[in-house]
């Protein structure tokens, strides 16, 4: 046997998927199905998760390893969304789920920026390519929605309006680039707990009612590439509940505002706080202000919009 051929690496595919920030997030009362209807505007940002899917020996099943910031906080069993994505794809296609997955973290963990959803989206695309399943994109999007409400947007990327549970997407026109700084906390916030607090603060309401939303000014700002107007239009219905559960977040918001941020908002269900800067340098300065005030555990700077899930490298036999 040719030694060079015998030493060839097994087939593998490396895929990158972005984190996100909710520019606007409006929440309706919990419905009869137990979910809250949402009206949201997502923007993908240049913080990425990478998932490498490598062909494993027949019968070995799925395995998962993680590296990068906060890797020790990520489960490596069947509760992980990337693992569940590989299992779902194998089940739907009838293919053997023999794959070694490796996640390289680049999105804060449990920070309301959809890092786990990015892992699921990347795993779907990686395993589809590795196994040469050829699943049409609309079917991948349907599977993504089964895995989680934010997973379809991780596939799409850029900027989009999300309705229903956030999984029904319409691309949004944008111009230019926006500069973000994200202040994160070591201790995450449970998304269900934030929604429960939202319900408690909102009081009795009529279920199955779509959230009231008027984000016209925000959409105009995106189309014009107007960062000042975008900052003024940022909105999150979950910010109050998140701050109520974690009062220290108020200081994070205040420091960014006092440092001249164009807009400041809790990202998703928190506890990450997103601050919009005038420029890349200003975004860095906002992060320095947070660090100097000792109100965050880590600072991440990024730009948006960023592309959706895409294959970076592919090694085949």
Q: Is 86 among the annotated ligand-binding positions?
A: no
Catalytic residue among 98, 119, 128, 150: 150
Cα angle value 287/68/181 (rounded, 5°): 15
Encode burial over 64-93: b for 16+ CB neighbours within 10 A, e otherwise. Answer: bebeeebeeebebeeebbbbbbbbbbbeeb
Q: Return the structure tokens found at 146.
A: 């089964």
Helix (H, G, I), strand (E, B) or coil at 118: helix
Taking the C-alpha atoms of residue 208 and residue 213, their distance in angstroms, rounded to an integer, is: 15
The two structure tokens encoding residue 290: 């947070």
CA distances, 95 to each of 64, 85, 98, 173 (Å):
18, 13, 9, 38
Residue 118 annotated as lining a ligand binding site: yes
CB 227 within 8 A of CB 262: yes
Rounded CA-CA distance 180/158 in Å is 14
Question: Sign of torsion, CA 125 126 130 131?
Answer: negative
Is 162 annotated as belonging to a binding site? Answer: no
Is 116 assigned a ligand-binding role in the annotation? yes
109 is in an annotated binding site: yes
The alpha carbon of 175 is separated from its chain's Cα centroid by a whole number of angstroms, namely 21
Q: Tell me whether residue 105 is one of the annotated catalytic residues.
A: no
Number of Cβ within a 10 Å radius of residue 134: 8
The one catalytic residue in 20, 98, 105, 215 is 20
CA atoms of 239 and 252, how far apart (whole Å): 12
Strands in 105-254 per DSSP E: 159-164, 168-171, 178-184, 235-236
Is residue 1 a known part of a binding site? Answer: no
* 110 marked among binding-site residues: yes
For residues 285 and 94, give the distance between their C-alpha atoms in angstroms, rounded to a whole number.
51
Give the span between the Cα atoms of 309 and 119, in whole angstroms.
10
Confirm or deny that 252 is annotated as ligand binding: no
Residue ranges of the binding site for ATP: 108-118
Which residues are identified as catalytic? 20, 150
Cite the annotated binding site by residue number: 108-118
């Amino acid at each position: 046997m040719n030694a060079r051929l015998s030493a060839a690496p097994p087939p593998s595919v490396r895929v990158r998927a972005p984190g996100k920030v909710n520019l606007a997030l409006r929440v309706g009362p919990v419905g009869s199905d137990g979910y809250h209807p949402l009206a949201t505007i997502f923007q993908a940002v240049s913080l990425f998760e990478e998932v490498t899917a490598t062909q494993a020996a027949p019968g070995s099943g799925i395995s998962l390893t993680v590296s990068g910031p906060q890797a020790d906080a990520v489960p490596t069993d069947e509760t992980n969304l990337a693992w569940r994505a590989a299992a779902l794809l194998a089940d739907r296609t009838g293919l053997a789920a023999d794959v070694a997955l490796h996640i390289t973290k680049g999105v804060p963990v449990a920070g309301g920026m959809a890092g786990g959803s990015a892992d699921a989206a990347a795993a779907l695309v990686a395993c589809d390519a590795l196994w040469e399943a050829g699943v049409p994109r609309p079917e991948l999007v349907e599977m993504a929605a089964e895995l989680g409400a934010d997973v379809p947007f991780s596939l799409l990327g850029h900027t989009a309006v999300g309705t229903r549970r956030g999984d029904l997407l319409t691309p949004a026109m944008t111009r230019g680039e926006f500069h973000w700084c994200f202040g994160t906390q070591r201790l995450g916030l449970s998304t269900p707990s934030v929604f429960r607090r939202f319900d408690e603060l909102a009081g009795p309401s009529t279920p199955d009612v779509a959230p009231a939303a008027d984000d016209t000014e925000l959409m105009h700002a995106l189309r014009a590439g107007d960062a000042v107007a975008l900052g003024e239009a940022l909105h999150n219905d979950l910010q109050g509940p998140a701050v109520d559960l974690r009062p220290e977040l108020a200081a994070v918001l205040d420091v960014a505002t006092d440092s001249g941020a164009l807009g400041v908002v809790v990202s998703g269900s928190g506890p990450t706080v997103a601050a919009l800067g005038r420029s890349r340098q200003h975004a860095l300065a906002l992060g320095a202000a947070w660090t100097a005030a000792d109100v965050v555990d880590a600072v991440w700077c990024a730009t948006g919009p960023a592309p959706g899930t895409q294959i970076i490298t592919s090694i085949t036999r």
